[in-house]
Structure 1
Amino acid sequence: MSQRPSLTYADAGVDIDAGNRLVDEIRGPVEATRRPEVIGGLGGFGGLFELPVDRYRRPVLVSGTDGVGTKLRLAIDAHRFDGIGIDLVAMCVNDVLVTGAEPLFFLDYYATAHLDAAVAAPVIKSIAEGCRQAGASLIGGETAEMPGMYASGDFDLAGFCVGVVEYDARIDGSRLSEGSVVLGLASSGAHSNGYSLVRRILDVAGATLETRLGDQSLADALLAPTRIYVKAIQALLAQVDVQAMAHITGGGLAENFARVIPDHLAATIERSAWTRPPVFDWLADAGNVSEAEMDRTFNCGIGYCVVVPADQVAQAIDVLTGAGEQVFELGRIHARENAEDDAVRLV
């Protein structure tokens, strides 16, 4: 009678030692995101963060979670991983920022069939870079090796962010008033939305990531990391009366901005206020995509919106440009004539 072999976790496709080596490799970049409020280090069962209650009378925690969608498929196909983690952080912290909150800490979830440090390490290091840009600590995460759940070479990402804002300083659009001005901050490209359509356009047009778009490749244009607006907006909040903000993600400018406009008000946005970046023109042409579909799928060059009083526009633009942002005066807030009218109209 033959003796059955003794099976190990490695025989099932999970390499515990590889996971431990990955933790050692990313320890430095993760530590570089450390804020004074972080307690302990990597390796615990939970990330500890001391809430800075001495800075607040009535602190409100703001949470957000997101992924990067099928942009990840392009990154895997191009084998370019140094920006996708920034995308992950940006999608979460920019959402939290809309409330006026300061992002405090971030956690990530990385799931794959077989852990490959040559892929996982640059991804997680780019997550740490995104946290550094946002001023948030990367205090923990999970790396899950799940053979049979993912195809070989594939992986998925999710992110989780927590921020804090003073109760009386939270921003929700309720203080919007007629005559206030809408400012748009330039995006760095398609950010992390609309990539299922992007991939379909590439297929229909017979294009590849190596196809040239002016002086760059489509890979350069389509995999440019999502812009993180945290530090610029924090500088703005300290100096200007910001009445509302919106992160322009899936649904485009009109649908996202409409989420923060009260029922009695509306906004008219002038298309001529900014020039759509070339990558969006290429997508529209190569895919024969209508303007209406472009508007509701992509940010089309505006990644974030803020609304300020008319008498503070010049100061707001100075602050934002001084923080490195490209700013456009998009339009104004006005009364909504009928309840059935669109909250945001692009003209």
Structure 2
Amino acid sequence: MTPTAVPDVPAVQREVRLAARAEGQLTTRHFTLAEVPVPQPGPGQVLVRTRVMAVTAAMRTQMTGAPLPMPSFVPGQALWGSAVGEVVAAPGGGFAPGELVHHPYGWREFAVVDEGRLRRLAPDALPTPAAHLSQGATAWGALTRAVEVRPGDTVFVTGAAGGVGSLAGQLARRLGAGRVVGSTGSERKAARLRAELGYDDTIVRGAGPIDRQLRRAAPDGIDVLLDTVGGEQLTAALAAARPDARFALVGALATQLGGDGGAVAPVELDAGLIITRRVVLRGFGLHAHPDLPQEWTKEFGQGLRDGSLVFPHALLKGIEQAPRALCELTQGHHIGAVLVEL
């Protein structure tokens, strides 16, 4: 497909900056919207116009200044994150104007990006550019590589209404799971998980002890855990583990979306259960599998086109809505990915 022509570049653009470290509940007062000159690309760089950007729970933690394995956001400077855009100018010649690309500098209308940090996207690989910002690659990689879901497995997904979990239930079913159970924060979300997103049963936080609900939903125990939450849900999953159960840990929403947005997620686990039941616990991160996005895009595109997969997401319009999008994500307002169209 030939790259499309791009319109003229304005002199100024808008970007969202961190106004102050986030302590307590996140609000739009933690952000400012600034107008700045559109940057100019240098050798080996590309100017990209952002079309769609994602907001994620990890961004809440990056706003706190807590020690992290990735850089924290800096007060007075623009935030960043996963985005899809089109190339506007590429003086180095490695890209062509109009090409669709993935880049790591959302939260601004234009970004100058080193060529090595861009990933070219086939315009017909997925039905919409927004679908390239699903968190399905993490779910797919965790279920196929970290825990290797097998036919007949009972799978428990924590945070099942989030960007990872809303696809994980569908994928577990696609991989042959016999029973899929998910946890979420409200009965409204639980009903949709059961009706549309591959879950046989659900656990609702606040509707009773998690371990008791899990015993009801999976009376014979679980073979696989995909954990995005940690905390008491991880403890309950271990108590319900069958022999040789496999656990993939991909997130810590229990602390990331808490009042302080902390990064540390301590949890007490019974070492005796881990040993006697031979439970495998494995951390999983997409950054360690650079081939996964391409693999996932092929799987996702096929599933979206034949109707066997759906992409739950909320799409807010306008860069000025990005702060509200992240606040609403931390408050649990949405199901699936939370995206902003610029």
Higher normalized helix content (fraction of residues): 1
TM-score if structure 2 supplies the norm length? 0.29
**Structure with bigger gyration radius:** 1
